Amino acid sequence: MDLGERSFLEQSKRRVLIVDDSPQVRQELRTLLPLVSDIEIVGEASDGREAVRLVQTLQPEVVLMDLEMPVLDGYQATRQIKAGFPACRVVALTVYGDPASRIRAAEVGVDVFLVKGVSVESLVQAISARPSDPTGCGQMTPVADP
Per residue in 64-114, pLDDT (tens digit) is 999 999 999 999 999 999 999 999 999 999 999 999 999 999 999 999 999
Does 105 fall in a domain? yes
Q: Can you point out the beta strands (E) in the chain? A: 14-19, 39-45, 62-65, 89-94, 112-115
Count of domains for the chain: 1
Does residue 135 belong to any structural domain of this protein? no
Q: Is residue 143 part of a domain?
A: no
The CATH number of whichever domain residue 81 belongs to comes to: 3.40.50.2300
For residue 142, being part of any structural domain is answered with no
Distance CA 32, CA 102 (A): 26
Residue 33 located in a structural domain = yes
In a domain, 5, yes or no: no
With a CB cutoff of 8 Å and minimum separation 6, the contacts of 82 are: 88, 90, 108, 109, 137
- Residue 63 structural domain: 11-128
In this structure, is residue 90 part of a structural domain? Answer: yes
* Per-residue pLDDT at 13: 86
Among 139, 55, 34, 143, CA closest to 93: 143
Predicted pLDDT at 69? 95
